[in-house]
Amino acid sequence: MAYSFARSLPFVAALMLLTACDNATTRPQMDIAGKTMGTFYSVKISGEVTENRQQLQQEIDALLEQANDDISTYRADSVLSRFNRSHSSAPQPIPRGMADIILTAQRIGRDTHDAMNITVGPLVNLWGFGPDKRPVSVPSQQQIDAAKRNVGLQHLTLTSNAQGEWLQKDLPGLYVDLSTLGEGYGADLLAQLMARKGITNYLVSVGGAVRSRGVNGQGQPWRVAIQKPTDQENAVQALVDLQGYGISTAGSYRNYFEQNGQRYSHIIDPNTGRPINHRLVSVTVIAPTALEADGWDSGLMVLGSEKAMKLAEQQGLAVYMISKTDDGFSAQMTPQFKAFLLQ
């Protein structure tokens, strides 16, 4: 029986950062790149830069390291991994940043009727898309049902008091997975660092989550390209100017495995307990923060094009969606997205 775990082009972002015409650059530009969260980060600064490059990179790495220590399910000793391992129902202290992510996730979870669900971890791991080992075969319905019994946003409580933020679960097997929001959170951390340093012209990204402000080396708006939804090419589907906002794309076409000709995406429908299986292949969201955009893109992806577009319109979200058709792809967007579109 053919079973291939073809995690296609892992960690390649569905968004491209464009800084065209380098030889026409008239303003100094600092370019810093590195690895974090199983993917890459990039910081591009234009205009006068007074920062010491090496020192700035150290600060960036330290910020992202802290984020990994807080919310990574790929680090056994992170705050989140310790919470997941614990079977206690007592409130456990968590860092402020992690509380902000969970608060956003709970709100988007409610708004998407639990389609975006950070307690989906047991299912993500069962299907082989988490830090655990890959499955040797497609999980049985029995295994899926068992994992689903440990899923449910209602079992997770976040409280805040003078002493700090506290996270609590009333289901011992609850496992929180913040992977879908981590890149957005990371991009926001980088944008906040730029703001603290008084840097006003930057383009920062962690994986597929991006923030930008001001202009590039040519004095033009930074341009971010949404890629065509295939795992074969880096062709541009649309170009946007973020105008200080955050952007994130969720896609079912870059991280999947195949068995017997059937593709299994890493985005799981918490309702069925199975990878999504519909014609919506890519959702891009622009929002005031990259965290917000990163939360919405996966939630809308789970819902499928019809429900996603309806919800995006109700919520007034800037959303660009690409669906598979019989002879190619079709794109649709909300009016709010058009305001960011360059071409």
State the nearest-atom distance from the C-beta of 266 to ligand FAD, in Å.
4
How far, in Å, CA of 103 to CA of 126, rounded?
26
Q: Does 72 bind ligand FAD (CB under 6 A)?
A: yes
Instruction: Count residues near ligand FAD (CB under 6 A).
Output: 32
- Residue range at the interface with ligand FAD (CB under 6 A); choices 44-52, 85-93, 122-130, 160-168: 122-130
Q: Does 267 bind ligand FAD (CB under 6 A)?
A: yes
Per DSSP (E only), the strands in the chain are 3-4, 15-18, 29-36, 39-46, 92-94, 156-161, 164-169, 202-206, 209-213, 223-227, 236-240, 246-251, 256-259, 262-265, 268-269, 274-275, 280-287, 318-325, 328-333
Side-chain half-sphere exposure of 40, counting CA atoms within 13 A: 13
Residue 301's H or E segment, with its range, is helix 290-303
Largest CA distance in the chain: 62
β-pair partners for 45: 30, 202
Helix (H, G, I), strand (E, B) or coil at 133: coil
- Residue range at the interface with ligand FAD (CB under 6 A); choices 158-166, 176-184, 308-316, 318-326: 176-184
Residue with tokens 């819902």: 303
Is residue 73 annotated as involved in ligand binding? no
- Residue range at the interface with ligand FAD (CB under 6 A); choices 46-54, 63-71, 156-164, 315-323: 63-71
Q: For the chain, how far is it from start to end, CA to CA, in angstroms?
A: 45
Q: Does 191 bind ligand FAD (CB under 6 A)?
A: no
CB-nearer residue toward ligand FAD: 67 or 280: 67
State the nearest-atom distance from the C-beta of 30 to ligand FAD, in Å.
25
CB-nearer residue toward ligand FAD: 298 or 305: 298
CB-nearer residue toward ligand FAD: 199 or 264: 264
Which of 247, 315, 250 lies closest to 276 in space, CA to CA? Answer: 250
Q: Does 182 bind ligand FAD (CB under 6 A)?
A: yes
Q: Does 98 bind ligand FAD (CB under 6 A)?
A: no
Residues 5, 74, 166, 329: which binds ligand FAD (CB under 6 A)?
74
φ, ψ for residue 245 (rounded to 5)?
-90, 180
Q: In sequence order, which residues have a C-beta less than 8 Å from that of residue 213 and are 6 or more positions away? A: 191, 194, 200, 201, 202, 242, 244
CB-nearer residue toward ligand FAD: 37 or 194: 37
Q: In sequence order, which residues have a C-beta less than 8 Å from that of residue 154 and are 6 or more positions away? A: none
Residues 45, 94, 99, 183: which binds ligand FAD (CB under 6 A)?
183
Is residue 22 annotated as involved in ligand binding? no
Query: What value, to the nearest 5°, has the Cα angle with vertex 80 and ends 74 and 81?
Result: 50
Residues 190, 247, 268, 293: which binds ligand FAD (CB under 6 A)?
268
- Residue range at the interface with ligand FAD (CB under 6 A); choices 111-119, 148-156, 193-201, 239-247: 111-119
Q: Does 129 bind ligand FAD (CB under 6 A)?
A: yes
Helix (H, G, I), strand (E, B) or coil at 43: strand
Residues that bind ligand FAD (CB under 6 A): 37-39, 67-68, 71-72, 74, 116-118, 120, 124, 129-130, 177-180, 182-183, 207-208, 250, 255, 266-268, 270, 294, 298, 302
| Binding-site entries for Mg(2+) | 180, 294, 298
- Binding-site annotation: residue ranges: 180, 294, 298
